[in-house]
Amino acid sequence: MSMGEVSIAAVFEHLRLLREKVSALAASEENQVRTLKGHQTPDTQEAIHLSFAKLQDQIESMEETLATIAEATGEIPKS
């Protein structure tokens, strides 16, 4: 395995772990919002949900960009 392949694999692993951590944080925040009484509005709940969805979309975008770089540099075969 080349140094580039190792680095790319490491970044993919970091992104996978980041996705898991964001999902866990989103679940935790959603549970916390449900337990608060009178302080949260549906708009706030929706904003939190949309923010976490946006984070997941951005992680996906980073994964796609990394895959493009890996393909362009020959580190992984083109799909």
Tell me if residue 14 falls in helix, strand or coil.
helix
- Which residues, in sequence order, are CB contacts of 79 under 8 Å at separation 6+? 67, 71
pLDDT score for 48 = 87
Chain mean position to CA 46: 19
pLDDT score for 47 = 86
Could you tell me the residue range of the domain that residue 43 belongs to? 3-72
The token pair that represents 77 in the structure block: 């075969």
Question: Is 77 inside any structural domain?
Answer: no
Is the pLDDT at 9 greater than 80? The verdict is: yes
Question: Is 79 inside any structural domain?
Answer: no
Degrees, nearest 5: CA angle 56-64-13: 70
Is the pLDDT at 30 greater than 90? The verdict is: no
How many domains does the chain divide into? 1
Question: Is 78 inside any structural domain?
Answer: no
Question: Is 63 inside any structural domain?
Answer: yes
Tell me if residue 11 falls in helix, strand or coil.
helix
